[in-house]
Structure 1
Amino acid sequence: MRKNLFALLALLIFFAVAIEACTKDDTSTTITPVLITPDQPTTTSNPVSNSITNDTALLGQALFWDPILSGGHDVACATCHHPTNAYTDGLELSLGANAVGYGQNRRFLLPNDVTFTKRNAPTILNTAFNGMNASGNYVPLTAPMFWDSRTQSLENQVTNPLMTFEEMRGHAYGEAVTLDSLVARLTKIAEYQQLFQNAFGSSKAITAVNISKAISAFERTLIAMNSPYDRYQKGDKTALTEQQIQGMALFKDEGCPICHSGPMFSDYKLHVMSVPDNDKLIHSDEGAGGTYAFRTPSLRNVGLTAPYMHNGVFQTLKQVMKFYDDIGEPISQNPHVSVQQLDAKIQRIALGNPEQEQLISFLNALTDPGFDRTIPVRVPSGLNPGGNIR
């Protein structure tokens, strides 16, 4: 009987070891892939000449939402960069001056001679980190702005839409006198006099430079860096689903980080990709210096910021993947761009439907919905916050 008992124990031990070995073998084939990026920034680096204070950010928020900065008192920065759409407007190309409504319901008033804006309105979220390299370093004064990187720093970017005819200026005044005209308007409003006084410490602080500083200060507060991916990187291995983890591996294996690198998932460099022209535009958009090169956008909150590319020509992420599959042949998708012009870094993304869903699931894991969605109930001018969007 004792011999039978020993035999039974030996058999149980054998099965226990066998089961443990099988378990180890199973887990070894499903090791969680990790896409390594530097620690995500939680605070912004501000120019010495424009440190953020509560007063400058408060003033900047008022200016951002106030259509007093547009020629016809009808467009604000927030018209095309609205929190409802993660600080975009959800349109291929924006409708600025002489238009009413919001998003898909926005339309030009008649009669009209104003065109669509030339490019898709990118999100303002995390533009405080523009120019951040793969190591997590950046200099705000040299941060590239716009799809063609034609301007550096938020401070220099801010005034461009104010002076552009189809965006905010309209017919009210010429480009050369835009900023002087806006300063004159703001100076007549007592509440703005006080806000500028609080922010810059002078009764004569209403200047074009300070307008730019205030709006830039506010925009640097619009940060979204607490996505499921961020939490996963910080050690919460439950933050991503299995599908998202598989998509993360595909993102890495398919070479996406060649251009979409670093904490912001962008190298912030210009690349020629032959994106098709948008038929709403009369002329082909030749990009930076006529080269058809455009800057790599950040992929953060990409699931909230459709449509995609510099002209909004793709409505879904699946369409974007189809585009990368086609140009990877290589085949140019724009008759104005030869195959020889295509950036050598571009790689074909040829994935089946299940793999596409995994990759898209990972891209959606870069979404942080907890960004500031505040919409002021009033602005100092007394106009509608956000312009004619109601």
Structure 2
Amino acid sequence: MRSPLTIALLLTTCIGAYAADLPDPLEDRDFLWNGAPSPELSELGRSLFFDPILSGNRNIACATCHDPALGTGDGVSLSIGEGGSGFGPERVTQDGVIGRVPRNAQPLYNIGARAYTSMFHDGRLELDHMGGFPSRLRSPAKEQLPEGLDNVLTAQAMFPVLSAIEMAGQPGENPIADAVAERNLRQAWRILADRLAAIPGYAQQFVTVFNDIETADDIRFDHAATAIAAFETVAFRSDWSRFDARLAGWPMTTTEEAGLKLFYGKAECSSCHSGPLLTDHEFHAIAVPQIGPGKDQGSDGSYAVHSGYPHRVEDQGRFNVTGEEADLFAFRTPSLRNVALTGPWGHNGAFASLEDMVRHHLDAVASLASYIPAELPALDTVIQPVRSRAGVSYQALSPMKRGTYDLRDIWVHSSERLRNEIARANTLAPVDLSEEEVSRILAFLETLTDPTAIDRSYLVPTAVPSGLPPQPGRDDACLRDSHSLAGAKALPGEAEDLPEPRCVGREDNTQH
């Protein structure tokens, strides 16, 4: 066994070549509220995060797609949102859906860091440096976004509740969906705030937490968004990995250290995955294959002509925000914190294994050309609106229409022309790494896993003020096993000794 002096000498020697590239450790001041919002505020946000009351049909919560037991995602490439039943990979279309969510559910680890100045895969919510909007934020809501939002994370919480495919539901199903369909976003937020105000347990919490709320009538949805952001800042902070121990001066294994050296050296991973969050917060086109229905963007109309559906299947990423050609098919550089937990990988979950995602970076264009589309969760029932004088109703697609509908999930990748457009936009240069070097990088990426983040199911409350079952469903036996990890602080270098609980077979408490 090596002595502490020997370890220190070895560590000092290997640090020399790339120490300047290593980030400083994360500190409380790097987070909103300096990492410590009031317990009352974050507890209110906790209830809201797991409560289906925020969805139009009261059937899906934020946590349904951001499960603390599944890397703060849901374990699938593209989620089944509003209208689904169950959780994670077992989620199915119970009442029928209009489609699948077109992008992968983003991980939430360290999402409360001040370094985030934009949100979503394409950054469509960001600080408004031009001063064009009263809210000082550029967003799809434009001038309807209220003033006084303190940060982009709070603003982000205003938007999933407006998405028909994620939480709002369809026109004709509920007043929130109707308001969204009419682009009256302020009315949709007002209806949600009134819902919360009508629940005594929530009303009392809001009055207690916010100084500008004297009665339930004063509750606004941006108050709820603030609470959710506070909860996310505390609940998903994650900086107790072996990598953090390394930043504090503790050694890694020889293989991990070799991977770190490659990451910050020859492989040039850190040219984009930099800083303590391992992201440059920029947007890059790296030729990730497109799977799924896209974002109804682009000029190509071939799918519409073939299927009869007025739907464009491309997802052009950041370009749809900026209009700059350099941003075509560019997406946010993801943080690599807990990256081994957050698959499938890519902005649309195109890669089922972390190794495949890493290998894509070796030659992105060749990887795109040889890619075989990932299998997406089956949509058992797809519905479409039927309008009449009586209003809007929904019916399942016929088998014939369903066949052409499903083509949208593979249309772009199946088209050589559209695939080549993604390849032409690529900005990622090839890198030549041996099999051993790839293995070393993968070993280093495993050190980014915080053992306390492996399963945070203890965050799921037993009950919420609305009286609806919290989502995702609880497995109390599993929660007892994992509760000891709540707020756990692994000793540097000893993280491998902590347990790794996993929740399985959780009860489906979805209500419709």
State the TM-score, normalized to the length of structure 2. 0.64
Aligned to 2:464: 379
State the SS of the aligned residue for 1:354: helix
Q: Decide whether the 8 Å contact of 1:67 with 1:387 is kept in 2.
A: no
User: Are residues 387 and 375 of structure 1, via their aligned partners in 2, closer, same or farther at CA, if it must alter by over 3 Å?
Assistant: closer
Going from structure 1 to structure 2, the CA distance change for 1:44 and 1:108 (only over 3 Å counts) comes to: farther
**Following the alignment from structure 2 to structure 1, what is the Cα–Cα distance between the partners of residues 32 and 452?**
26
1:200 matched residue in structure 2:
210
Q: In the alignment, which of 251, 256, 267 is matched to residue 254 of structure 1?
A: 267
Matches within 5 A, 1:15-30: none
**Quick one: which amino acid aligns to residue 223 of structure 1?**
R
Q: CA–CA distance in 1 between the matches of 2:156 and 2:446? A: 28
1:235 corresponds, among 242, 249, 252, to 249
Q: Aligned partners of 1:331, 1:92: CA distance in 2, in Å?
A: 17
* Root-mean-square deviation (Å): 2.7
**Which residue is 1:8 aligned to?**
none
* Rounded Cα–Cα distance in structure 2 between residues aligned with 1:99 and 1:285: 24
Quick check: 1:42–1:225 contact (8 Å CA) kept in 2? no
Q: Deviations over 1:135-162 (max 9, x none)?
A: xxxxxxxx11000011131111111100
Instruction: For 1:324 and 1:85, locate their aligned partners in 2 and report how far apart those are by CA, in whole Å.
Output: 25
Task: State the 1:348 CA deviation.
Answer: 2.0
Residue in structure 2 matched with residue 169 of structure 1 by the alignment? 168
Residue matched to 2:374:
none
CA displacement, residues 204-243 of structure 1 (integer Å, 9 cap, x when unaligned): 4421110111111111112001110111110112xx2221
Q: 1:264 to 1:70 in 2, by over 3 A?
A: same
Count of matched residue positions in the alignment of Structure 1 and Structure 2: 349
Identity among equivalent positions (%) equals 31
Show the counterpart of 1:342.
426
Question: Where do 5+ consecutive residues of structure 2 fail to align?
Answer: 1-5, 127-151, 295-311, 321-327, 372-417, 474-507
Q: Are residue 186 (structure 1) and residue 196 (structure 2) matched?
A: yes
- Indicate which of 317, 323, 326 corresponds to 1:287: 317
Alignment partner, residue 324 of structure 1: 361
Evaluate the alpha carbon distance shift between residue 47 and residue 366 of structure 1 in structure 2; reply closer, same or farther with a 3 A threshold. closer
Pairing partner for 2:125 from 143, 151, 162: 151
Q: Secondary structure of 1:32's partner?
A: helix
Task: Mark the CA change 1:272 to 1:59 in structure 2 (over 3 Å): closer, same or farther.
Answer: same
Residues 66-145 of structure 1 correspond to what in structure 2 (within 5 A)?
Answer: 66-110=51-95, 112-129=96-113, 131=115, 143-145=117-119
Task: Report the alpha carbon displacement of residue 99 of structure 1 after superposing the two structures with TM.
Answer: 0.3
Which residue identity does 1:285 align to in structure 2?
D
Residue 444 of structure 2 aligns with which residue?
362
Structure 1 residue 130: Cα displacement: 5.7
> Which secondary structure does the structure 2 equivalent of 1:129 belong to?
coil
The alpha carbon displacement at 1:105 in A equals 0.4
Alpha carbons of 1:51 and 1:224: their partners in 2 closer, same or farther (altered >3 Å)? closer
Q: Is the 8 A contact 1:255 1:347 kept in 2?
A: no
Question: Which amino acid in 2 is paired with 1:168?
Answer: M
- Give the match's secondary structure for 1:127: coil
CA deviations 1:97-156 (Å, max 9, x no partner) are: 00011111001114x242111110111110112636xxxxxxxxxx11000011131111
- Contact 1:329-1:348 within 8 A present in 2 as well: no
Structure 1 residue 246, shift from structure 2 partner: 1.1
Question: For 1:277, what is the secondary structure of its paired residue?
Answer: coil
Tell me by how many angstroms 1:59 deviates.
0.6
Q: What is the identity, as a one-letter code, of the residue corresponding to 1:151?
A: L
Matched letter for residue 190 of structure 1 = P
Please report how far the alpha carbon of residue 45 of structure 1 lies from its aligned counterpart in structure 2 after TM superposition: 4.9
> In structure 2, do the counterparts of structure 1 residues 130 and 328 end up closer, same or farther at CA, with 3 Å as the change threshold?
farther
Unaligned runs of 5+ in 1: 1-23, 133-142
Residues 321 and 349 of structure 1 are in contact (CA less than 8 Å); yes or no, is this contact kept in structure 2? Answer: no
Q: 1:386: Cα distance to partner?
A: 1.2
Distance in 2, matches of 1:182 and 1:329, equals: 48
Worse overlay, 190-199 or 379-388: 379-388
Per mean C-alpha deviation after superposition, the further-off stretch among 78-87 and 37-46 is 37-46
Match of 2:239 among 225, 235, 259: 225
After superposition, the Cα gap between the structure-2 partners of 1:375 and 1:38, relative to the gap in structure 1 and judged at 3 Å, is same
With normalisation by structure 1, the TM-score equals: 0.82
Q: Match of 2:158, SS?
A: helix
Listed one character per residue, the Cα deviations across residues 251-300 of structure 1 (whole Å, up to 9, x for unaligned) are 12210011000111000101112211114557121111332111100000
Cα 1:113/1:245, change in 2 over 3 Å: same
The answer to whether the Cα contact below 8 Å between 2:256 and 2:441 also exists between their aligned partners in 1 is yes
Q: Which residue of structure 2 lines up, in the alignment, with residue 160 of structure 1?
A: 159
Q: In the alignment, residue 262 of structure 2 is paired with which amino acid? A: L
